[in-house]
Amino acid sequence: MSTMELEAAVGVGQSLDELRQTFRSRRTRSVEWRKAQLRAILKLISDNEDHIFAALQQDLGKHPVETYRDEIGVVVKSANHALSCVEKWMAPKKGQVPLLLFPSKGEVLPEPLGLILIFASWNFPISLALDPVIGAISAGNTVVLKPSELAPACSSFLAKSIPSYLDSKAIKVIEGGPAISEKLLQQKWDKIFFTGGRRVGRIVMSAAAKHLTPVTLELGGKCPVILDSLSDPSDIKVAVKRIAGGKWGPCSGQACIGIDYVLVEDNFASTLIELLKKTIKRFYGENVKNLKNLSRIVNRQHFDRLRNLLEDPKVAASIVHGGSLDENNLIIEPTILLDPPLDAEIMTEEIFGPLLPIITLNNIQESIEFIDSRPKPLVIYAFTKDETFKKQILTETSSGSVVFNDVLIQFLCDSLPFGGVGPSGFGRYHGKYSFDTFSHEKAVLQRSFFPELEARYPPWNDFKMQFIRLGYRFNYLGLLLLFFGLKR
Amino acid sequence: MLPTLFNENKCRVGVGVGIQNQKFSISIAGVGGSSTPVQKKAEESNTTTLTPSLLSSSVAFLTLLEVVRTTASIMGSEAQKVFDAKDASSMLMELRGTFETGKTKSYEWRVSQLKSMLKMTEDCEKEIVDALHSDLSKSELESFVYEIAMLRSSLTLTLKELNRWMMSEKVKSTITTFPSSAEIVSEPLGVVLVISAWNYPFLLSLDPVVGAIAAGNAVVLKPSEIAPATSSVLAKVLGEYMDSSAIKVVEGAVPETSALLEQKWDKICYTGNGRVGRIILAAAAKHLTPVLLELGGKCPVVVDSDINIKVTTRRIIVGKWGCNNGQACIAPDHIITTKDYAPKLVDALKLELEKFYGKDPLNSEDLSRVVNSNHFSRLTKLLDDDKVSGKIVHGGQRDKTNLRIAPTILLDVPEDSRIMSEEIFGPLLPILTVDKIEDSFHMINSKEKPLAAYLFTNKKKLKEQFVRNVCAGGLLINDIALHLAVPTLPFGGVGESGMGSYHGKFSFDAFSHKKAVLYRSFAGDAPARYPPYSPGKLRLLKALLSGSIFGIIRALLGWSKA
């Protein structure tokens, strides 16, 4: 641990005390405070757009349009949505109460959990940091945000700008690497929200177990595209555009909802490859030295990991497009592979980079079995016009979400919960789901002192037993008869 | 929820036998109708031999065993074999196989299982009541109200609503993704593990199972070994009434639970205490399994002075002692009232207690006993604490042989005593006093968040303050424990009292994955989504993401200055 990290570690305890005190002061519960913080996030973004563009350029070589679409835009949209809905979300929900308990009133009141820890990831270092923060604030919590140290420019941007825009006694950014994370995980939180890989997910959950802290894990997985043999050429064009945009567009494939591989019928593969090649050329250019609009690989370690995937001789033999690497600039060309061996690492591990295996099947129906025999992915994309096939995909596979005829845009749909299942994580967020993730749903039942049912109390006898039996059956007529002595 | 002692496995005999018993139930399912007379015999011997002691339940086990021996010769050397990780893993494999056939996903299967369980609660009511009497000396009425009838109403509600719950939920999609339609589909998680508790061993075992089945999962139930008679009845009746290829019972204690926890489940639901809760969570972390924890806590009752004291005290008594003699996760743990009002409250409690349980409560048929000698000595230790023993204002009698402690009230125990620092989970009720009733809120919030908090008052303002300020799993005003019976309210804790919730539709949701589904057509593509990127595309994106139709039109027409 460096001295800087050591100092930071000492500061963690103090920061947390301050945050807990703020929470106890109940300031963060008022709707005014929540809205003020959400507005502050919007202001932070609009004042600093250029800084954000620069930070992402530095960390990942992200193009400003991509940065706007995947980072700034996402945060602005979420903050606006939360601003307009937070009052509605905070309102208690009425619950129907059985007649036997009449008169009484039941409701569910959302209340903040307390102190939240958010671990963001490096691939979308602004949106995956601020999107959950928006949820935690909307729900009235105090927050510690730990940005990823693998996107250092963004991490330091967040650490510098957040305290000057948001309530620094309630929302703190703590920067650092694994040592700081470990230190943070030793503390008692009321909720931990983690975006990242499975290995660290396990560490986070084990640490949370010690304090019985609930956890939301946003992980990844190998997200497949099922591409049915479309007959209409214009549909094919759209599908290919969406696949090419969705694979290499968002952070060069380094995205948890990015496309991992494509499943397609034998006879359709060559058409797909030809069209993909053309689209790649149009979108990103040709020579690895002159690629445009393409993010770089985050660091040397990941670059080497991806290179290793390609270096397997059988895998290398399956490359049909690309495959060149620019080691100095950490750029990997959009690469297409046709039928790499299914037991090679590229088909067993999440790729998380610009390599796209195309797996051919005799019949597109086989894709269901292909997906079911592998761990549940975060999302399944399917391009098809066949309604029965759609239905089959929906009911016979399991994944965090399913998107038909498009890619990635489910992330922008606030009315849909975003989250995984099984190895792709648990818990969900976005829109109202973010609010719920950071709230406790407190059940409240209010009763009056009258009327009083004698049958509730001991000493027990047959009459009371009879009464209760009828009550549970909601047999109100029977109850009435019992009272008048007409029923035995 | 309750201090189950994880390493307190006093029914070693029951353990090995329990597994046999489970085999027994599977074999019955295989043999089919031919085994019915044998089952009858087993039921008879079970019900006739059960008396409130651990010994007799082992007798019941042995009778069962004998029955098995006469029907199928699966006994022999296996009899001593403990359920281990290998058994757990092969059982799980079988269940996964069943789940993968898709059988459990069908509406028909779910309904048939729920109906079958409902029939079981009717056919086997006597057996269940007897088992509960053997394990806890629970009175018939209490067993009926809090275990059988609660389960039945849960089943009836689920059967009535399941169709609606299973329907996908249409949601509005946003202009950003226009044109599209979106829905949320509930799908089963897979194979789930339910580990239950000994205090309501029937309800707390089967109520989560109802949710798991309703959601279309395969289930393994591990009942508590501390209520051995109920555990054995559960293993038997589930084997008889439920689809044994998808729903299984594993009886046992620590070794069996550990073997189960080593496996990869799709969800674990545990009812019990925080210490074991931590073990479960840590085990689940290895497989990234989501967990529902129903724990307990020190549930406070705040009593204001402007109330109908008779109704209040009766409701407190039936909530405290009438719920398994205080051994319930939502039972009142302590009362907080004002200094002036405390003596009046104590007198009223004494008066009503005598009306309910007579002058000799140790012999009342209407009070449950303490579950076992470990808990008995834990509770007597709490009472014998030097700081506490002088504070008893009512009760305090105990009968070690029959594991009974009389309803006991303590006044003004120090806050740093043991009785005030751990969950009491028994018939002792300390009363704490404050100067102003509002001070109680601070007192509650300075401790760990309880599963439930109660308030008796007629003041509107105080109610509002209570609802706003007190943090607990659930709040109930002017009554005790009844919120449990309202299926439109989620039941679950927060912080130390647990995570996740169930009951009614919340049970269905707890065992479902909410799959987001978005349908798009091939038309309606914004070119701005795709590279090569340009400033014009940036403008259009800004408008699209802000959802402003005018902005989109302006950007498309090139009017925007941004």
Angle in degrees, CA B217, B194, B61, rounded to 5: 115
Residues of A in contact with B177 (CB under 8 A): 406, 409-410, 412-413
Kindly indicate the confidence band of residue B70, based on its pLDDT and cuts at 50, 70 and 90.
very low
Contacts 24+ apart (CB under 8 A), A325-329: A325/A288, A326/A288, A326/A289, A327/A303, A329/A61, A329/A296
Contact B255, B81 (CB under 8 A): no
Query: In the 8-state DSSP scheme, what is residue A418?
Result: B
Distance from CA of A157 to the nearest CA of B (A): 22
Question: What pLDDT does A455 receive?
Answer: 74
pLDDT tens per residue across span B183-209? 999 999 999 999 999 999 999 999 999
A27 touches chain B (CB under 8 A): no
Of the candidates B471, B518, B463, the residue with the CA atom closest to the CA atom of residue B182: B518
Q: What is the pLDDT along chain A (488 residues), one digit of tens a residue?
A: 455 655 666 678 888 999 999 999 999 999 999 999 999 999 999 999 999 999 999 999 999 989 998 999 999 999 999 999 999 999 999 877 776 666 788 999 999 999 999 999 999 999 999 999 999 999 999 999 999 999 999 999 999 999 999 999 999 999 999 999 999 999 999 999 999 999 999 999 999 999 999 999 999 899 999 999 998 999 999 999 999 999 998 899 999 999 999 999 999 999 999 999 999 999 998 887 888 889 999 999 999 999 999 999 999 999 999 999 999 999 999 999 999 999 999 999 999 999 999 999 999 999 999 999 999 999 999 999 999 999 999 999 999 999 999 998 888 888 999 999 999 999 999 999 999 999 999 999 998 887 777 777 888 888 777 777 777 766 666 766 666 666 65
Whether B527 shows a pLDDT value over 50: the answer reads yes
Q: Which of the residue ranges A6-20, B284-298, B299-313 would you say has the lowest mean pLDDT?
A: A6-20
- As to burial, measured by CB atoms within 10 angstroms (0-12 exposed, 13-18 middle, 19+ buried), residue B320 is buried
Q: Which of residues 240-299 of B touch A (CB under 8 A)?
A: 266, 274, 277-278, 281-282, 284-286, 288, 290, 293, 295
Instruction: Tell me the CA distances in angstroms from A363 to A268, A287, A368, one per residue in order.
Output: 11, 35, 10
Contact B80, B257 (CB under 8 A): no
* Integer Cα distance of A329 and A325 in angstroms: 9
SS (H, E, C) B488-544: CCCECCCHHHEECCECCHHHHHHCEEEEEEEEECCCCCCHHHCCCCCHHHHHHHHHH
How many other C-beta atoms can be found within 10 angstroms of the C-beta atom of residue B93? 12
Q: What are phi and psi for residue B405, nearest 5 degrees?
A: -125, 135
Residues of B in contact with A283 (CB under 8 A): 530-532
Q: Which helix (H) or strand (E) holds B448?
A: none
Provide the pairing of β-strand A215-218 with A425-426: antiparallel
- Which among B148, B174, B325 is the top mutation candidate for probing chain A, defined by the most A β-carbons within 10 Å of its own β-carbon? B174
Alpha helices by DSSP H, listed for A296-344, are: 300-311, 313-316
Contact A190, A113 (CB under 8 A): yes
Distance from CA of A21 to the nearest CA of B (A): 12
Q: Which helix (H) or strand (E) holds B339?
A: none
Reading the block at residue B476, the tokens are: 């109930």
What would the mean pLDDT of B79-91 be, rounded to a whole number? 84
Question: What pLDDT does B546 receive?
Answer: 66
Catalytic residue among A218, A265, A333, A350: A218
Alpha helices by DSSP H, listed for A72-177, are: 73-90, 127-138, 152-165
Of the candidates A437, A377, A381, the residue with the CA atom closest to the CA atom of residue A409: A381
Q: Residue written as tokens 């000698």?
A: B373
Residues of B in contact with A445 (CB under 8 A): 474-477, 479, 482-483, 486, 489
- Which among A398, A415, A429 is the top mutation candidate for probing chain B, defined by the most B β-carbons within 10 Å of its own β-carbon? A415
| Domains, chain A, with CATH or none | 3-219+430-441 (3.40.605.10), 224-419 (3.40.309.10), 449-485 (no CATH)
The percent of residues in chain B predicted with pLDDT above 70, rounded, is 81
Question: Which of B288, B318, B534 is facing A457, going by the closest CB pair?
Answer: B318
Question: Which of B171, B190, B542 is facing A415, going by the closest CB pair?
Answer: B171
- Average pLDDT along chain B: 84
B121-135 burial string, b = 16+ CB within 10 Å, else e?
A: beebbebbbbbbbbb
Cβ <8 Å between B482 and A449:
no
Residues of B in contact with A438 (CB under 8 A): none
Q: Residue written as tokens 């707890």?
A: B510
A30 touches chain B (CB under 8 A): no
Whether B430 shows a pLDDT value over 70: the answer reads yes
Cβ <8 Å between A212 and B190:
no
Query: In the 8-state DSSP scheme, what is residue A72?
Result: I
- Which among A436, A460, A463, A474 is the top mutation candidate for probing chain B, defined by the most B β-carbons within 10 Å of its own β-carbon? A460
* Integer Cα distance of B490 and A224 in angstroms: 36
Q: Which of residues 451-490 of B touch A (CB under 8 A)?
A: 458, 463, 467, 471-479, 482-483, 485-486, 488-490
Q: What are phi and psi for residue B101, nearest 5 degrees?
A: -65, -15
Q: Report the C-alpha dihedral over residues B175, B181, B186, B187, rounded to 10 degrees.
A: -120
Cβ <8 Å between A293 and B547:
no
- The terminus-to-terminus CA distance of chain A in angstroms comes to 79
Query: In the 8-state DSSP scheme, what is residue B445?
Result: H
Distance from CA of B466 to the nearest CA of A (A): 10
Whether B41 shows a pLDDT value over 80: the answer reads no
Express the helix, strand and coil content of chain B in percent, nearest 5 each: 50, 15, 35
Strand partners, A143: A116, A171
* Integer Cα distance of B352 and B478 in angstroms: 17
Strand partners, B336: B302, B432
Q: Which of residues 404-443 of A touch B (CB under 8 A)?
A: 404-406, 409-410, 412-418, 421-423, 425-428, 440-443
Whether B9 shows a pLDDT value over 50: the answer reads no
Residue pairs spanning A and B at CB distance below 8 A = 304
Kindly indicate the confidence band of residue B530, based on its pLDDT and cuts at 50, 70 and 90.
confident
Question: What pLDDT does B46 receive?
Answer: 39
* Integer Cα distance of A389 and A395 in angstroms: 10
User: Is residue A218 annotated as a catalytic residue, yes or no?
Assistant: yes
Whether B13 shows a pLDDT value over 50: the answer reads no
A446 touches chain B (CB under 8 A): yes
Kindly indicate the confidence band of residue B17, based on its pLDDT and cuts at 50, 70 and 90.
very low
Contact B134, B115 (CB under 8 A): no
Of the candidates A226, A225, A242, the residue with the CA atom closest to the CA atom of residue A234: A242
Instruction: Tell me the CA distances in angstroms from A23 to A115, A129, A307, B140, one per residue in order.
Output: 8, 21, 48, 47
Of the candidates B538, B545, B543, B562, the residue with the CA atom closest to the CA atom of residue B553: B543
Of the candidates B347, B517, B531, B500, the residue with the CA atom closest to the CA atom of residue B431: B347
Question: What pLDDT does B25 receive?
Answer: 35
Residues of A in contact with B348 (CB under 8 A): none
* Integer Cα distance of B291 and B267 in angstroms: 6
Distance from CA of A307 to the nearest CA of B (A): 25
What would the mean pLDDT of B291-305 be, rounded to a whole number? 96
Question: Which of A74, A241, A460 is facing B366, going by the closest CB pair?
Answer: A460
Of the candidates B236, B230, B280, the residue with the CA atom closest to the CA atom of residue B257: B280
Whether B8 shows a pLDDT value over 50: the answer reads no
Provide the pairing of β-strand A215-218 with A191-195: parallel
| Domains, chain B, with CATH or none | 85-295 (3.40.605.10), 300-492 (3.40.309.10), 528-557 (no CATH)
Provide the pairing of β-strand A331-332 with A325-326: antiparallel
Whether B438 shows a pLDDT value over 90: the answer reads yes
Q: What is the DSSP string of B147-170?
A: IIIHHHHHHHHHHHHHHHHHSPEE
ipTM summary value? 0.92
Question: What pLDDT does B189 receive?
Answer: 97
A360-378 burial string, b = 16+ CB within 10 Å, else e?
A: bbeebeebbebbeeeebbb
Instruction: Tell me the CA distances in angstroms from A392 to A365, B98, B363, one per residue in order.
Output: 9, 19, 63
pLDDT tens per residue across span B443-486? 999 999 999 999 999 999 999 999 999 999 999 999 998 888 88
Whether B359 shows a pLDDT value over 70: the answer reads yes
* Integer Cα distance of B403 and B174 in angstroms: 63
- Which among B104, B177, B305, B447 is the top mutation candidate for probing chain A, defined by the most A β-carbons within 10 Å of its own β-carbon? B177
* Integer Cα distance of A217 and A194 in angstroms: 5
Q: What are phi and psi for residue A265, nearest 5 degrees?
A: -75, 150
pLDDT tens per residue across span B222-252? 999 999 999 999 999 999 999 999 999 999 9
Kindly indicate the confidence band of residue B102, based on its pLDDT and cuts at 50, 70 and 90.
very high
A292 touches chain B (CB under 8 A): yes
Q: Residue written as tokens 């496996």?
A: B263
Of the candidates A243, A414, A159, A363, the residue with the CA atom closest to the CA atom of residue B184: A414
How many other C-beta atoms can be found within 10 angstroms of the C-beta atom of residue B411? 18
Question: Which of A96, A395, A446 is facing B477, going by the closest CB pair?
Answer: A446
Q: Which helix (H) or strand (E) holds A20?
A: helix A3-24
Cβ <8 Å between B521 and A405:
yes
